[in-house]
Structure 1
């Protein structure tokens, strides 16, 4: 007789994906992509095991913990908990991965309870979880506390609500066709550069960041945790220096990924005041992911967001001609950045809900 009571054990983090104990982590990568495919039809939203392993092996800036649920020795779900290492960090970020075939057996609730227990053990008082949603209308639509955007209810969103989480924010996932007409990009870049004027200039590189830019890049990366719209989500201010830039890039590049950075330097001060990152996995024919994009608050209104986005997309089309699309997430209330995306050809393909509970 089969039991539906899951057994939950810690996720094993191997030294490499070829190690004797790497099967669980490889299954984690497969499950991550399966769940994204089931939820929104976009498996490439999720990184694979090779992309994730370097982050799990280096706890310098964030601590990752994972748990595997089994029923009769079959893996039926996993959950991960990510803990920022800043001393003032209060939140634990939870990612729940239970495929449709095993949802409703109690696995999802048991894994969420285990993740919350782990967060409490590390002294966290805020729990956060994200849900993915197709761009469809449903009988029950959810509106976040920001008032911007709406998403259809799903089993995961209902689980979060049942466990006391509140929908704080909705993010739009958009894609840009890398094989579309390049003219609008060039025109937008030319117009924005003329508007910004000679006080701003474009700086570009492929990671690793050249030593002369590391301190400046660290400063603008730190602003992402404070300047980007996040509703009432509790994110600790991140502390960055050149060493953290080097650590981050070692994790990103260790999996065979390539990252292009387009930044804007404020010429009078010499500071980097805006940036955009594009990343692709070792498979150069796949989806490109836009990571961070930010314009420092003091320099908004000069069209620097358009400059870094367009400059990097133009550069990327030359660097990665076989990549198909660029995928990016933006808060629904971030109308300036969404307007830039829409103007240069990004279209919505899915949505994410950001949920939070204080304990």
Structure 2
């Protein structure tokens, strides 16, 4: 490996196949039994970006041109988050403990500093050597997460009945893809319900929501070949979105879906809208995508309310991860 690997500027089809080999081997080793993204899905994830961020890619090969490591650096361009960089680094299990990860991490964090970022964050499996690897390189643990999985065959029958429980003053609605025009403004406002989500000590910054942003997120999901479903609770008094939940379904419409945001505006909390919308989402997802086998989500360990909602729906812990942060000004 050269001392300073250069980012990929024009990745080829072979580069993406090599990237997939590294990722597949690492996932099989580190998270056995969990699904591995297809090569097509992985390439779409790496190449489909929004106007809110840009991505740099590194693919490291050894002297025999075998792929040994990958890294991504997401640089946020929003005014409220332009200080932040997100790092994802993977080393093939056969090439670990040879210095590859250390040199690649140094290269990537240097690129973040040169881009003007003050913080870099990354996520690793809890209780693994990755934590020590980061701690000895100046990273600090800032947020602990529990990833949960719901096997759709195990959904209790009562969940199908939850949407029929009266919630006076509210009604449920939903849509695939981009939010309908009639709800766009209030849905953008409802996204502010994520503002007080637990972020630990992370230098998360400020996300500014507007109609253009929520539409672009849906469009990015579609360009990746995935399908976005949203279920919302609407207040009868003004027809505005009070809370919502989102689900992203894989391109093929089967396998494991990923839960995105679930939020309720502060003035509408205490009515069970989070549980109501998530239960309705599960019912609709099963009906629309019979090939789905599971739903996966993550939740900050400090977010006791959402952990309780997920547990009530039948989600069970899958793994635990830790978000680490590097103060680039102190490197």
TM-score, scaled relative to structure 1: 0.84
Structure-2 separation of matches of 1:273 and 1:81: 35
| CA shift digits 1:176-219 (9 cap, x unpaired) | 1112245121244344xx2x42x221111111322222222222
Cα deviation, residue 55, structure 1 = 6.2
Cα deviation, residue 350, structure 1 = 0.8
> Helix, strand or coil: the match of 1:179?
helix
The aligned counterpart of 1:176 is 150
Structure-2 separation of matches of 1:170 and 1:283: 31
> Helix, strand or coil: the match of 2:267?
helix
For this pair of structures, how many residues does the alignment match?
326
> Helix, strand or coil: the match of 2:116?
coil
The aligned counterpart of 1:137 is none
Cα deviation, residue 264, structure 1 = 1.1
Structure-2 separation of matches of 1:162 and 1:47: 34
The aligned counterpart of 2:112 is 119
Give the counterpart of 2:80 among 80, 83, 88. Answer: 88
Give the counterpart of 2:62 among 71, 75, 83. Answer: 71
Give the counterpart of 1:161 among 135, 141, 149. Answer: 135
Give the counterpart of 1:214 among 184, 187, 201. Answer: 184
Give the counterpart of 1:202 among 172, 180, 201. Answer: 172
> Helix, strand or coil: the match of 2:6?
strand
Contact 1:276 1:308 in 2 (8 A): yes
The aligned counterpart of 1:353 is 322
Cα deviation, residue 319, structure 1 = 0.7
Contact 1:13 1:57 in 2 (8 A): no
Structure-2 separation of matches of 1:249 and 1:174: 24
Structure-2 separation of matches of 1:230 and 1:249: 24
Contact 1:259 1:280 in 2 (8 A): yes
Compared CA separation, residues 79 and 219, structure 1 to 2 (3 A): same
Give the counterpart of 1:255 among 196, 199, 224. Answer: 224
Structure-2 separation of matches of 1:342 and 1:322: 23
Q: Which runs of 4+ in 1 moved over 4 A?
A: 4-7, 45-49
Cα deviation, residue 343, structure 1 = 1.3
Cα deviation, residue 253, structure 1 = 1.0
The aligned counterpart of 1:330 is 299
Cα deviation, residue 162, structure 1 = 0.9
Name structure 1 gaps, 5 residues minimum: 15-20, 133-150
The aligned counterpart of 2:240 is 271
Contact 2:50 2:220 in 1 (8 A): no
Cα deviation, residue 255, structure 1 = 2.9
The aligned counterpart of 2:44 is 53
> Helix, strand or coil: the match of 1:8?
coil
Cα deviation, residue 49, structure 1 = 4.5
Contact 2:156 2:314 in 1 (8 A): no
> Helix, strand or coil: the match of 1:202?
strand
> Helix, strand or coil: the match of 1:253?
helix
Contact 1:13 1:22 in 2 (8 A): no
Structure-2 separation of matches of 1:31 and 1:91: 26
Structure-2 separation of matches of 1:311 and 1:326: 14
| CA shift digits 1:208-257 (9 cap, x unpaired) | 32222222222223443x22211111112212322223322222112321
Contact 2:188 2:214 in 1 (8 A): yes
| CA shift digits 1:121-180 (9 cap, x unpaired) | 111111111002xxxxxxxxxxxxxxxxxx42x222111111111111211111111122
Structure-2 separation of matches of 1:270 and 1:47: 41
Q: State whether structure 2 residue 22 is matched by structure 1 residue 31.
A: yes
The aligned counterpart of 1:320 is 289
Name structure 2 gaps, 5 residues minimum: none
The aligned counterpart of 1:281 is 250
Cα deviation, residue 45, structure 1 = 6.9
Structure-1 separation of matches of 2:304 and 2:326: 26
**What is the RMSD computed on CA atoms of the aligned residues?**
2.2
TM-score, scaled relative to structure 2: 0.90
